[in-house]
Amino acid sequence: MSVSIRSLKEEDRPWVVELMRERWGSEVVVSRGKARDASLLEGVVAEIEGEPAGLATYEIRGGECELVTLDSLEEGDGIGSALLATVANTAWKQGYRTLSVVTTNDNVRALGFYQRRGFVLTALRKGAIEKSRRLKPEIPQLGYDDIPIRDELELALDLRKSRA
């Protein structure tokens, strides 16, 4: 089974909204104290045999590209890795030096995933999720493995040194 990656198209937007509502509770994603509609961002879609298998959205600002969402519909098939590599390569080709991502303290699988691909922890924002809930009340109190969701963790990949 091979994964192909393509740019997000306007006709994908209804599927993107549905996926985000299912996976994220809504299209709104909050990080660094800022809420944004992730369904409107640039992105890439993973496909297997012509069917959507994953999505990554990203936002470029300043000298940095932020990976805002990363969703694989089948874990362990290399979908997330392929999406991440595509976003990293896109940012690199556009001259950006850093690819960052923000996750929450409960998401230990994501922390491992990103660190295995060369990301390093760059910030801990203690208590940030309390503020985020004011912008997105549907953020649950408990996350993975019933860990209370409290903090934001930021990781970054130096695109000059390595690629995802």
Residue 7 is predicted with a pLDDT of 97
Q: What gap in Å lies between CA 75 and CA 162, rounded to an integer?
A: 24
Tokens (6 digits) for 110:
């994501």
Cα–Cα dist 9/154, whole Å = 28
**φ/ψ (deg, to 5) at 145:** 55, 30
Two tokens, residue 115: 């660190």
pLDDT given for residue 154 in this prediction: 97
In this prediction, residue 38 carries a pLDDT of 96
Q: Are 104 and 141 in contact (CB under 8 A)?
A: no
pLDDT tens, N- to C-terminus, the chain (164 residues): 689 999 999 999 999 999 999 999 899 999 998 999 999 999 999 999 999 999 999 998 877 899 999 999 988 889 999 999 999 999 999 999 899 999 999 999 999 999 999 999 999 999 999 999 999 999 999 999 999 999 999 999 999 886 55
Predicted TM-score (pTM) of this structure: 0.92
Angle at 106 between CA 101 and CA 110, to 5 degrees: 40
Confidence at residue 86, expressed as pLDDT on a 0 to 100 scale: 97
**Where do the DSSP E strands lie in the chain?**
3-7, 28-31, 34-37, 42-48, 51-61, 64-72, 98-104, 120-125, 152-158
What is the C-alpha radius of gyration for the chain, rounded to an integer number of angstroms?
A: 15
Q: What is the pLDDT of residues 7-46, one digit of tens each?
A: 999 999 999 999 999 999 899 999 998 999 999 999 999 9
The full set of domains in the chain, from first to last, is 3-158 (3.40.630.30)
